[in-house]
Amino acid sequence: MRIAVTGATGFIGSHLVPSLVAAGHIMSAPGSEGAPVIDVVTGEGMPAAFSGCGAVIHLAARNHVLKENEADPLAAYRRVNVEGTRNVVREAVRAGARLFVHMSSVKAMGEESEAVLDENSPCAPKTSYGISKLESEEVVMQEAGKSGMRAVILRLPMTYGPGNRGNLPRMVRWAERGWPFPFFSPGNLRSMVYVGNLASGIMASLERPPAEPVSTYILKDAEDHPTADVYAAICRELGRSPRLVHVPATAVRLLGRLSQNFRTVTASFRVSCAKAEREIGYMPPVSFEEGIAKTVAWCRRSAS
């Protein structure tokens, strides 16, 4: 099948496209060498890139920004993640694509929860990014739902792996310097997904497209882990002993008021991928230990 992938040269795309090619799909990867460049906001280049495609996988987005420079962050997120998605899904319909796969985020559901959330849990996004992702899902439901094209929405927790420059590589640098890492409650469990497992989930949605016109799935690793265990696994790969410092609950609450990033690290946020396992046969092939090992190896190579 001919497949168009927006954001093909980004973190997820760089892992997904080789998997699609290996499976025998013909790629239209805008922005890659020799391929047309598209602009999801203006729509430039999309007709040529999507022509003849049976499926469109939409990865391009304005992702979570740690140091925000926009005067109106929500407007900036909406311009790319909401209106850009509207442009992409409409062009996919015009091109005659039979399936649209849209990358969303568990941040569309919220930032923390003591309960294990699934696709039926209420959505209460707290950040501009999360709001824009929930609105992008609504766009896909509206546009695909009235067109006859099937759509799959994939919600992702923190995604890690070679090429990612988010929180986990920061933890690697922290461990390399031998700094003590703040240890919180053992109940601080968070769901994560290794990028190879995510690619496997996307492949599953192509191989076993759901019967419903629009279906939403959560993808994650097989197990959830406390932040302290993630740091300890990183240290093991570096051949270091983890230095953990217990932080009292009162300090956690105080720092949580001061820093959204600190709240993200310390709060529990667990999700379930049972629906994806049941309906599209999703089975994450890469273990947590293997995913951490590959990520740490990449961090060390990229730093040298």
pLDDT in tens, the chain (304 residues): 999 999 999 999 999 999 999 999 998 877 776 667 899 999 999 999 999 999 999 999 998 766 667 789 999 999 999 999 999 999 999 999 999 999 999 999 998 888 999 999 999 999 999 999 999 999 999 999 888 899 999 999 999 999 998 888 988 998 999 888 876 665 688 999 999 999 999 999 999 988 889 999 999 999 999 888 999 999 999 999 988 877 766 665 655 554 555 556 667 899 999 999 999 999 999 999 999 999 999 999 987 6
Which residue segments constitute the domains of the chain, with CATH numbers given?
Answer: 2-162+191-223+271-286 (3.40.50.720)
The model's pTM is 0.92
- Please state, in angstroms and rounded to a whole number, the distance separating the CA atoms of residues 291 and 298: 11
Tell how many helices (H) and how many strands (E) occur in the chain.
12, 14
DSSP letter (8 states) at residue 166 = S
Handedness of CA 78, 79, 80, 83 (dihedral sign): positive
Question: Length of the chain, please?
Answer: 304
- Residue among 43, 4, 56 at smallest CA distance from 27: 4
**Tokens 């009292």 found at:** 248
